[in-house]
Amino acid sequence: MSGLTVLSDSAVHRLLIGLSKDEIIAFQASLSKCLQGFSVGTERQYQPTPGIINRPNGQKTLFRPFTSPTAVGTKIIVDPAPKSDNTKLPLQGVVALCDENGLPKGIINGGELTGYRTSLIAIIPYMWRRNTENVVVYGSGKQALWHIRLMLALRGMEIKTITVVNRSESRAREMLDKIAQENAAQWKSSATMEYLNPSGSNFEQSLKGILAEADAIFCTVPSYEPLFPAEYILNQGKRTKSPYISAIGSWQSNMIELDPALIKGIVNDAENGFHPEHGSAGAILVDDRTTILTHTGEAVKSELKLDDMVEVGKIFYLRENEPDKTQKEKLNQWLAEGLVVYKSVGVSVTDLAAGERILALAKEHNLGVHIEDF
């Protein structure tokens, strides 16, 4: 069926929320293949540079074009300016896709697509982890929501506790209520879901204890200051396990979720880090080294260098093709049990891959508005 398909946010949500575990894994595999093509294949050279516009009123707009042998297009995401009462609307946007000849084939609301794509990629290294009993999630927006949904769908039977940290208690509890209803109907995990209030009198003490026991920490906040001190992770004398930490909330050089001391402590200290390619102490796992270097506060404030980072697409390659058996074992042990920090700003071709997959699902389920002659 040719022509243009238009998908609303609610239509995209219906498609994604109903996917089975096997369907989610297949979706994730398509994104993994895309990342590998970007990092060790030839696709990087064919991706235009993304653009960011900051207006004086506080509005931020991301323009992210992409190409492939079979499609071209772009994503536009807007972080709205604060309202007069200082409230913030969520990120909004659109993904537009054409075929290789430039014929329009899809216009997709970018909200659910971006939340799902970003969360599903952040979950990739999490799937390599050996243990996931205790999880901490920072945030209560669409990204946090999809992170938790995907964790429950993919590893819900292994999770014992999920702790949500968010400044707005009402938003956090609203999200947890929604997830509890969805979990009861779909994934049926026995995980306990709790809220930790940053305004509480014992917050720092409670947070330090929770992070000491965390197997995974997911940060989804567009923050301008670190969410927790590096010492809560690096200097836990009684820590018996190291967590997987994902940070997807900061996407400009003045935004930051992770303490620069945490980044430095990993790349400069062999006791805390591991580097799968070089003899240096440790590496940060990223999706796009070049963009991370200049577009995130974590990289700018910790003075990261390109060689301090390894792209997740390269990790896929090394897991299959590392010739040194001992090094391969060390790599897999680090990914399974070591202190792994993943920092993401998004890779344009994954928006394309996600958009094409969603269009295929829409065709299969007869969803969206189709225009034959556009």
Encode pLDDT of 284-342 as tens digits: 999 999 999 999 999 999 999 999 999 999 999 999 998 889 999 999 999 999 999 99
Task: Tell me how far apart the alpha carbons of residues 312 and 238 are, in angstroms, rounded to a whole number.
Answer: 30
Task: Tell me how far apart the alpha carbons of residues 281 and 307 are, in angstroms, rounded to a whole number.
Answer: 11
Quick check: 239 pLDDT over 70? no
Q: What is the mean pLDDT of residues 339-365?
A: 95
What pLDDT, on the 0 to 100 scale, is given for residue 238? 55
Quick check: 237 pLDDT over 60? no
Q: What is the mean pLDDT of residues 244-261?
A: 95
Quick check: 236 pLDDT over 70? no
Q: What is the mean pLDDT of residues 44-49?
A: 94
| Owner of token pair 């990629």 | 121
The residue among 127 and 281 whose pLDDT is bigger is 127
What pLDDT, on the 0 to 100 scale, is given for residue 186? 95
Distances (CA, A) of 339 to 162, 262, 312, 316, 320: 19, 11, 15, 18, 21
Q: How many CB atoms lie within 10 A of CB 272?
A: 20
Mind listing the domains of the chain with CATH numbers? Answer: 4-113+349-371 (3.30.1780.10), 128-346 (3.40.50.720)
Question: Tell me: the pLDDT tens digits for 271-280?
Answer: 888 999 886 6
Report the predicted TM-score, pTM, of the whole model to 2 decimal places.
0.93
Quick check: 72 pLDDT over 90? yes
